[in-house]
Amino acid sequence: MRSLKEAELKGKKVLIRVDFNIPMDKDNEIIDDTKMRAALPTIDYILDKGASLILLSHLGRPKGKPEAKYSLQKVALRLAEIIGPRVSMASDCLGPDTLKKVEELKPGEVLVLENVRFHPGEEKNDPEFSRQLASLGDLFVNDAFGSAHRAHSSTAGIADYLPCYAGFLMEKEVEMLERVLEHPVSPRMAILGGAKVSDKLGLIENLLSKMDIILIGGGMANTFLKALGKEIGKSICENELLEQARQLVEKAAQKKVQLILPEDVVVAEEISADATAKNVNAEEVPDNMMILDIGPRTIEKFVAAIAQARTIIWNGPLGVYEYPSFARGTEEITKAIASSSAVSVIGGGDSAVVAYNLGLEAQITHISTGGGATLEFLEGIRLPGVKACEESRPSSALPGAGSHQEASL
């Protein structure tokens, strides 16, 4: 990818796409600003080089029209708290107000544009919308790895009109994921959890040729257990994928990859804080119960395997960790990874939340800011946002580029 350090920034207006799609509570207050802080090295570097910064992001899923609860106003206020009063906000990402604020922007200042998903052209990657956004700046920096799997205007389309560079977070994410995929130290391990096998079929296929050991837990393990003839009661299961699960087990054996499933599980009649938890063998789940966590024998086996690994990729919780009765498996695996001497990468999402909640983030080599983007990257898919940084050669002339006179939508 083209590194930000290759760009001439002094005196330029820099469009930067960040992933500030951060958790908010019901009162629209920020719960966690980790993603914002992850972008600070790129933001600080650009400002220190004498450029001004025009910040693009989405928040939530407003479906192409303005919604107050998805406004980036609180995000802009938090950014101002972090980096100082040089932050201002535009009421839209295009239009007269935005254009005026862009024109007035001075080196060292930051302008946060309103949610790009308030316009239908964003998710459609509409060329005209991309061109209008591009007209605001002199060059484009993509630091939004968490949105890099989306072929949207602000993640990919702008690169058709402006030279595109990878921000430092984007570089770090790609380098770490490539390291564990293409240059791992053996024994190589993947730990996969979450609810659905369907979300990870391509991922498992790809990892079978790159890993030595694959540990499977969470709801997705149920489909594998049933495919092997185990009774799983009323547990979540994708029955239409039983044959594919069997085939994956066979492929693992053919490739001499250890695919390890739960030996014992924690079950209950319902998912609730008051549910009575019980430990049973994985093949002896009562008809009226469902699997909600891995059991103590499985934890012991997984932890022993983790201790031997030298490269670890983890994505997805191993149980319904939101409830204490079903959190032990996920928590113990997180602790084991943190204690390991392996190069460890946690693939964002719920797995990352657990690491932060336990205060173990400093003991993990890398915690990705991506969820879906990380999964697709590990699956071997070339992400549109990454591709834009690799192939940044604007194919379309942008009349007035750098003059900031185009954003009139």
> Cβ atoms within 10 A of the Cβ of 109, count?
18
| Domain annotation for the chain: domains and CATH numbers | 4-170+384-390 (3.40.50.1260), 186-341 (3.40.50.1260)
Q: Mean pLDDT throughout 352-366? A: 93
Query: Is the pLDDT at 268 greater than 90, yes or no?
Result: yes
Q: Let me know: does 39 contact 169? Beta carbons within 8 Å.
A: yes
Query: Which pLDDT tens digit goes with each residue over 70-112?
Result: 999 999 999 999 998 899 999 999 999 999 999 999 999 999 9
pLDDT at 392: 58
Mean pLDDT of the chain: 93
Question: Which helix or strand (DSSP H or E) is residue 78 part of?
Answer: helix 73-83
Query: Which pLDDT tens digit goes with each residue over 151-197?
Result: 999 999 999 999 999 999 999 999 999 999 888 999 999 999 998 88
Main-chain phi, psi angles of 128, to 5 degrees: -70, -40
Query: Is the pLDDT at 395 greater than 90, yes or no?
Result: no
Q: How confident is the model at residue 28 (pLDDT cuts 50, 70, 90)?
A: confident
pTM as predicted? 0.87
**Token output for 237:** 């299961």
**Spatial separation of the C-alpha atoms in residues 157 and 141, rounded to whole Å:** 12
Q: How confident is the model at residue 255 (pLDDT cuts 50, 70, 90)?
A: very high
For 393, the 3-state DSSP assignment is: coil
Query: Which pLDDT tens digit goes with each residue over 374-393?
Result: 989 988 999 999 999 997 55
Omega cis (within 30) before 107: no
